[in-house]
């Protein structure tokens, strides 16, 4: 029995030594004992939005030109808990918004208790300011009393601005930028007709002159 115990103990000790050795090798070769980040973050996914890509897309002027005030009216339903928009409508938690487009920021509704950050902001509710406000009221005026988180969809913001403009008017809409002219594709240039070259003395420039028999006069060589 002592021989079996000694044999078993020997094998257990041997296995422990092997495990310890493998652990040491893996820590040196594979850095198993240290957490490391991969050198590259994997394969890029085609079409995936990059950081800050939410601002990409049509300009505000384009969205306003192609927007829909009727769609904006439906979105404005989210605002009716705090605002009215009918002419002469009462103030609620927020001011009445009739005629707000183009009015002074924090000064539109006389007698309403605006936050100091909004009342002291300066400027008018032009289209850019309204878009920034609707995107994130707290980013526009940190001390605002308005608890609304904002509208992340640029098209929704444009539509609601158009609806507010229908209720009280506002400045002329900005003109969308003209689309950039596209350069002709290389294949179109190669496949198209070759433009004619200027002629010199009735012959195409670059054309190879026909050989002149010996003894005949040419323009730059008299007859022999």
Residue 31 C-beta-side C-alpha neighbours within 13 Å: 5
Q: What length is written for the chain?
A: 224
Between 43 and 152, the higher pLDDT residue:
152
Domain 63-166 homologous superfamily, CATH: Cytochrome c-like domain (1.10.760.10)
What's the pLDDT at 27?
A: 59
Among 155, 130, 135, smallest CA distance to 69 is for 155
Domain edges within the chain: 63-166
Between 61 and 189, the higher pLDDT residue:
61
pLDDT 10s digits, 95-128: 999 999 999 999 999 889 999 999 999 999 999 9
Per the DSSP assignment, residues forming a β-bridge with 221 are 218
Q: Which two tokens stand for residue 151?
A: 């509208």
Per the DSSP assignment, residues forming a β-bridge with 200 are 203
Residue 132 pLDDT greater than 60, yes or no: yes
What's the pLDDT at 186?
A: 58
């Amino acid at each position: 029995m002592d021989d079996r115990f000694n044999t078993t103990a020997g094998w257990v000790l041997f296995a422990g030594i092997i495990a310890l050795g493998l652990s040491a090798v893996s820590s040196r070769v594979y850095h198993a004992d240290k957490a490391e980040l991969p050198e590259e973050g994997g394969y890029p996914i085609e079409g995936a939005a990059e950081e800050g890509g939410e601002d990409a897309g049509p300009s505000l002027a384009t969205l306003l030109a192609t927007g829909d005030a009727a769609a904006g009216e439906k979105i404005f339903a989210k605002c009716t808990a705090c605002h009215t928009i009918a002419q002469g409508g009462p103030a609620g938690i927020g001011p009445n918004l009739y005629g707000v487009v183009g009015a002074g920021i924090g000064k539109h509704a006389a007698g309403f208790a605006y936050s100091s950050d909004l009342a002291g902001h300066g400027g008018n509710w032009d289209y850019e300011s309204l878009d920034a406000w609707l995107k994130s009221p707290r980013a526009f005026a940190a001390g605002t009393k308005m608890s609304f988180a904002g509208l992340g969809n640029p098209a929704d913001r444009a539509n609601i601005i158009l609806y507010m403009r229908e209720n009280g008017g506002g400045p002329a809409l900005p003109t969308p930028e003209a689309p950039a002219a596209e350069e002709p594709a290389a294949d179109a240039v190669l496949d198209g007709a070759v433009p004619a070259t200027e002629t010199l003395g009735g012959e195409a420039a670059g054309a190879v002159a026909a050989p002149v028999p010996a003894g005949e006069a040419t323009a730059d060589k008299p007859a022999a």
